[in-house]
């Protein structure tokens, strides 16, 4: 291995990506040398022609060198920390990046976000190489094209590595959580991700300090996270709607939404108030109106339900104040709404069950909000949630249905990558190691696709059937079912 060649190519790459200027070349090289404990520099073996490797590939070479020389341990977190430190050499300070962003925003919001998204990719904060390993496909349904992703971007650690990291784990309450502003530029440690190359954009939303960053493992185009300066629990309230509309007013090419603020129907992080957005149109955004209705107290609002497997109320208006008030009005109505015949109970004692997943966007110069009705109650038949994926779909998707899934993108576990290959073999009557929990599903596919399963068709059949399972997941999460539940849905609409 020739670390000098890798350093030279990485520095040249940073110059070509306009992360640094040519005048910064020697400085950047010396900084990386220090991280790799190199005291001299040799160009003897430098190739005349660049190998045209990407940043992640060059980082992998330098990290491998550091492991081989005993500079760092062969642990995932240790390697991430070194990679992050190396890329931080090429990054400006947060103040400079924010100045660039806001200067570009004054010209065009699209220019500002494109600048920051490109920077987050070039700095390897967005893990482009790992994201490329994900499986992506679309399936056609009566509700439009649903997106399916098998998430392979986050590497799975082997038990030995986990044991080693547990031995070296440092207990610390800093940063307070994975989203807090204290992560910006944080070196990282065993058990907490490296963030030396992490930057956030300062935003004011509803007279509060908020931050914009991109997700390290983007699930869709320009997948961003907007987080509160204050470490506080997720909450859906009137201030939430004000912030969401203010954000799309500032960035009309982006949507923004919030996970629900209750367990089971909420996202994976409920301890820090945050939203997710991006420059992508999900299937739900394309859904057509079904039942249109008026809200007597809000004459400027166009209201409707939409054709979607979950229960959604869509509001549109150019009057942002009426939109905020109407959203809050519906939220408060829903929080206290019960219909035992439809399994909807608002409270058990003082424990609230009803909440909303809101998604805001601009369309045709109007504000648009989708309010997805959620309920997190459980019972003996469905101990993980009455309106949660039911047991017969757990072999495909068992996790919470958060904002991304609600809009029509399935984020499926990495185990399916190998498990579905075994299902293929089973359907082709080849020797296999199919997981027992896939048997009922696979046998049903065999029956329904008699004489149609061949080596050339089997993969497409499985992709379609996984998509149909995800559709079932969304139907399970719906508080008012598309078949027997529509009268109950109309009953709630009438209460508005």
Burial class for 67, CB neighbours closer than 10 Å (0-12, 13-18, 19+): middle
**Distance, CA of 152 to CA of 155 (rounded, Å):** 7
User: In the predicted model, is pLDDT for residue 157 greater than 70?
Assistant: no
Confidence of residue 267 (pLDDT cuts 50, 70, 90): confident
The arithmetic mean of pLDDT across residues 220-225, rounded, is 97
Q: Which of 128, 129, 130, 119 is nearest to 197 (CA)?
A: 119
pTM, entire model:
0.94
**Distance, CA of 202 to CA of 482 (rounded, Å):** 42
The number of folded domains in the chain is 1
Q: Which of 286, 314, 289, 288 is nearest to 301 (CA)?
A: 314
pLDDT for position 44: 59
Confidence of residue 336 (pLDDT cuts 50, 70, 90): very high
- Residue 281 domain-assigned? yes
User: In the predicted model, is pLDDT for residue 413 greater than 70?
Assistant: yes
Residue 63 C-alpha from the chain's centroid: 27
- Residue 308 domain-assigned? yes
**Distance, CA of 5 to CA of 51 (rounded, Å):** 10
pLDDT for position 9: 96
Contacts 24+ apart (CB under 8 A), 353-357: 353/262, 353/377, 355/236, 355/260, 355/261, 355/262, 355/265, 355/266, 355/331, 356/236, 356/260, 356/330, 356/331, 357/257, 357/258, 357/259, 357/260, 357/265, 357/402, 357/403, 357/406
**Distance, CA of 8 to CA of 249 (rounded, Å):** 44
- Residue 446 domain-assigned? no
The arithmetic mean of pLDDT across residues 235-261, rounded, is 98
pLDDT for position 483: 86
The arithmetic mean of pLDDT across residues 375-388, rounded, is 96
- What share of the chain has pLDDT > 70, as a percent? 98
Residues found in the chain:
496
pLDDT for position 442: 98
The domain in which residue 273 lies consists of 219-387+478-495
pLDDT, tens digit (0-9, with 9 covering 90-100), for 118-140: 999 999 999 999 999 999 999 99
- Residue 458 domain-assigned? no
User: In the predicted model, is pLDDT for residue 369 greater than 60?
Assistant: yes
pLDDT for position 47: 53
**Distance, CA of 215 to CA of 178 (rounded, Å):** 12
**Distance, CA of 318 to CA of 362 (rounded, Å):** 10
Q: How many Å is the maximal CA-CA distance in the chain?
A: 79
Q: Which of 145, 149, 139, 151 is nearest to 410 (CA)?
A: 149
- Residue 229 domain-assigned? yes
pLDDT for position 362: 98
Confidence of residue 171 (pLDDT cuts 50, 70, 90): confident
The arithmetic mean of pLDDT across residues 382-398, rounded, is 96
- Residue 65 domain-assigned? no
pLDDT for position 41: 87
Confidence of residue 484 (pLDDT cuts 50, 70, 90): confident
pLDDT, tens digit (0-9, with 9 covering 90-100), for 281-307: 999 999 999 999 999 999 999 999 999
pLDDT, tens digit (0-9, with 9 covering 90-100), for 434-467: 999 999 999 999 999 988 999 999 999 999 999 9
- Provide Rg for the chain, Cα atoms: 25
pLDDT for position 459: 97
Buried b / exposed e across 99-109, counting CB within 10 Å, b at 16+?
A: ebbeebbeeeb
Q: Which of 282, 280, 256, 251 is nearest to 111 (CA)?
A: 251
pLDDT, tens digit (0-9, with 9 covering 90-100), for 3-52: 999 999 999 999 999 999 999 999 999 999 999 999 998 765 555 567 88
Lowest-pLDDT choice from 160-169, 323-332, 405-414: 160-169
pLDDT for position 42: 75
| 3-state secondary structure string across the chain | CCHHHHHHHHHHHHHHCCCCCHHHHHHHHHHHHHHCCCCCCCCCCCCCCCCCCCHHHHHHHHHHHHHHCCCCCCCHHHHHHHHHHHHHCCCCCHHHHHHHHHHHHHHCHHHHHHHHHHHHHHCCCCCHHHHCCCEEEEEEECCEEEEEEECCCCCCCCHHHHHHHHHHCCCCCCCCCCCCHHHCCCCCECCECCCCCCCCEEEEECCEEEEEEECCCCCCCCCEEEEECCCCCCCCCHHHHHHHHHHHHHCCCCEEECCECCCCCECCCCCCCEEEEECCCCHHHHCCEEEEECCCCCCCCEEEEECCCCCEEEEEECCHHHHHHHHHHHHHHHHCCCEHHHCECCEECCEECEEEEEEEEEECCEEEEEEEEEECCCCCCCCCCCCCCCHHHCCCCCCCCCHHHHCCEEEECCHHHHHHHHHHHHHCCCCCCCCHHHHHHHHHHHHHCCCCCCCCCHHHHHHHHHHHHHHHHHHHHCCCCCCCCHHHHHHHHHHC
Cβ(400)–Cβ(265) below 8 Å: yes
pLDDT for position 50: 72
- Residue 241 domain-assigned? yes
- Residue 286 domain-assigned? yes
């Amino acid at each position: 291995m020739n670390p000098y060649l890798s350093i030279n190519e990485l520095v040249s790459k940073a110059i070509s990506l306009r992360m640094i200027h040519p005048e910064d070349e020697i400085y950047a090289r010396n900084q990386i040398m220090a991280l790799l404990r190199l005291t001299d520099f040799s160009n003897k073996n430098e190739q005349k022609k660049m190998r045209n490797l990407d940043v992640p590939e060059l980082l992998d070479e330098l990290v491998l060198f550091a492991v081989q020389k005993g500079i760092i341990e062969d642990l995932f977190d240790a390697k991430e920390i070194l990679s992050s430190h190396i890329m931080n050499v090429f990054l400006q300070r947060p103040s400079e990046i924010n100045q660039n962003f806001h200067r570009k925003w004054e010209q065009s919001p699209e220019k500002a976000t494109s600048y920051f998204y490109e920077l987050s990719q070039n700095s390897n904060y967005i893990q482009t190489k790992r994201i490329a390993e994900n499986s992506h496909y679309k399936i056609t349904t009566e509700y439009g094209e649903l997106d399916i992703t098998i998430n392979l971007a986050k590497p799975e650690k082997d038990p030995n590595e986990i044991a080693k990291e547990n031995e070296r784990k440092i207990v610390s309450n800093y940063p307070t959580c994975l989203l807090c502003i204290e992560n910006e530029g944080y070196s990282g440690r065993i058990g907490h991700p490296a963030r030396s190359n992490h930057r956030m954009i300062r935003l004011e939303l509803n007279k509060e300090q908020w931050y914009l960053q991109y997700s390290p493992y983007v699930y869709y185009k320009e997948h961003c996270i907007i987080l509160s300066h204050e470490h506080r629990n997720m909450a859906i309230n009137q201030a939430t709607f004000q912030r969401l509309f203010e954000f799309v007013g500032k960035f009309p090419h982006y949507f923004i939404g919030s996970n629900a603020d209750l367990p089971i129907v909420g996202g994976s992080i409920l301890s820090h108030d945050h939203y997710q957005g991006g420059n992508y149109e999900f299937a739900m955004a394309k859904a057509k109106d079904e039942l249109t209705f008026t809200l007597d107290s809000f004459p400027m609002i166009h209201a409707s339900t939409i054709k979607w497997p979950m229960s959604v109320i869509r509001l549109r208006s150019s009057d942002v104040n009426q939109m905020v008030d109407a959203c809050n009005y519906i939220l408060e109505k829903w929080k206290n709404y019960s219909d035992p015949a439809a399994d909807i109970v608002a409270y058990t004692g003082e424990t609230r069950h009803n909440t909303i997943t809101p998604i805001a966007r601009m369309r045709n110069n109007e504000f648009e909000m989708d309010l997805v009705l959620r309920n997190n109650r459980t019972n003996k038949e469905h101990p993980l949630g009455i309106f949660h994926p039911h047991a017969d779909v757990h072999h495909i998707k068992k996790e919470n249905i958060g904002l991304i899934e609600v809009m029509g993108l399935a984020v499926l576990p990495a185990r399916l990558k190998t498990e579905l290959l075994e299902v293929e073999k089973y359907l082709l009557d080849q020797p296999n190691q199919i997981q027992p929990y896939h048997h009922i599903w696979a046998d049903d596919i065999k029956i329904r696709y008699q004489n149609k399963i061949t080596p050339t068709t089997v993969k497409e059949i499985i992709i379609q059937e996984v998509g149909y399972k995800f559709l079932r997941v969304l139907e399970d999460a719906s508080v008012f079912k598309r078949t027997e539940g529509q009268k109950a849905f109309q009953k709630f609409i009438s209460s508005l």
